[in-house]
Amino acid sequence: MKKNTWINLAFQIGALALALVITTVILVAVGAPPLKVFGSIIKGSFGSVQNVVAVLITWAPLLLTTAGVLITFSAGLWNIGMEGQMTMGAIFATGMLRLLEHASLPPALIILLGILAGILGGAVWAALAGALKTFGGVNEIFGGLGLNFVATALTIYLVFGPWKRPGVGSMSGTQPFDKALWLPTLPGTQLSLWSLGISVAVIVIVYFLLRGTHFGLRLKAVGKNPKAAFLMGVPTWQYSMIAFLLCGAFAGLAGGIQVAGIYHRLLPNISNGYGFLGLLVAMLINYQALWAAPIAFLFAALNIGSVQLQIQYKLDSSFAGVLQDLLVLMVLLGEGARQRFMKKS
């Protein structure tokens, strides 16, 4: 290996070790045995077939949101509106399935149209954030966050209003669809091989798209230096809008899959934080699509494995988020330290 490769590896390992050390200190401070906690997380993620299935179910939408974030990050854009885009995808998918639920069409076609509607919903919501950025001068962070709140409010309105269950509005969501309109799942589980296969296919496509295609190179040029890219003939604002549309489409696809493959109805919090989690995954892998699948799987495992911590050690299940955030923060700090070290040497 080259010297720089060893240096990079040393800083990355050091960052991960520091994150584990800080996490251990936090556990000791709250009176929880660190080794037993980490062991419980591993057992909660992989201790049974049911747990592994739960990890895979979480992994699928997280892959899609991570794929979308990688597209916008490559264009130099911070699409914080993934939560809203995923929610709008779920709303559009639910609306289409409700519209066609009693139509004389093959169930497979209705499911497909529902998921396509989800893709459209996410893309439309992302296009609004892109338009605010491109034509209104609104920073995409503020525009995306604002649209997240609007999407959440619209979901609550629909669940407790026009789409409420017969006679009552409930936090458990709208009336479940007929089983014929559910994505096929493995017997006895909620895992759909269709949703898993689609998610893996999307991250592979994004990897090759960004790795060396003409579109990917132009997108990265816009992200690195939009003025230089424009002078070289790259239509910068158009590429920014395409990045938003693709990101929103992937988020909307995730929302559609949540409706058709997991919950079979619209829930008030159907995005489950996957949009923000996708941001963390993308930052941890330094926007390298090659590592998206394994790191997203790690984050999914942490989410599932930490569920029992509240019962066993009186730790809130959000402890997984603490560990995830620390991993990202330490890796970012380590990368900054590495760059300073390389400049001095």
Per residue in 137-165, pLDDT tens? Answer: 899 999 999 999 999 999 999 998 899 88
**pLDDT attached to residue 1:** 47
Beta pairing partners, 185: none
Task: Please provide the average confidence, as pLDDT, over all residues in the chain.
Answer: 88
Domain match, 112 and 180 both: yes
Domain match, 333 and 226 both: no
**pLDDT attached to residue 250:** 97
Domain match, 143 and 207 both: yes
Domain match, 270 and 287 both: yes
Q: What percent of the chain has pLDDT over 90?
A: 50
Which tokens is 201 given?
């296919």
Residue found by looking up tokens 């390992």 in the block: 13
Domain match, 152 and 92 both: yes
40 falls within a domain: no
- How many structural domains is the chain composed of? 2
279 falls within a domain: yes
Domain match, 321 and 298 both: no
CATH number at 86 reads: 1.10.3470
42 falls within a domain: no
Domain enclosing residue 13, as ranges: 1-32+315-345
Domain match, 111 and 231 both: yes
Range name among 73-77, 193-197, 203-207, 305-309 with the lowest pLDDT average: 305-309
Q: Which position has the higher pLDDT, 322 or 168?
A: 322
43 falls within a domain: no
Dump pLDDT digits (tens) for 178-203.
999 999 998 888 899 999 999 999 99
Q: Which residue, 26, 57, 38, is CA-closest to 308? A: 38
- Half-sphere exposure in the Cβ direction for 76 (13 Å, CA): 17
> The pTM is what?
0.90
Domain match, 127 and 28 both: no
Q: Which residue, 22, 44, 16, is CA-closest to 34? A: 22
Domain match, 120 and 83 both: yes
Report d(CA 142, CA 147) in Å as an integer: 9
38 falls within a domain: no
Domain match, 76 and 129 both: yes
**pLDDT attached to residue 132:** 93
Domain match, 337 and 224 both: no
Q: CB of 123 within 8 A of CB of 249?
A: yes
Which tokens is 140 given?
């995409």
Which tokens is 55 given?
């990890």
Q: Which residue, 53, 88, 54, is CA-closest to 250? A: 88
164 falls within a domain: yes
Domain match, 107 and 245 both: yes
41 falls within a domain: no
Report d(CA 137, CA 156) in Å as an integer: 30
- In this prediction, residues 18-33 reach a mean pLDDT of 84
Q: CB of 202 within 8 A of CB of 64?
A: yes
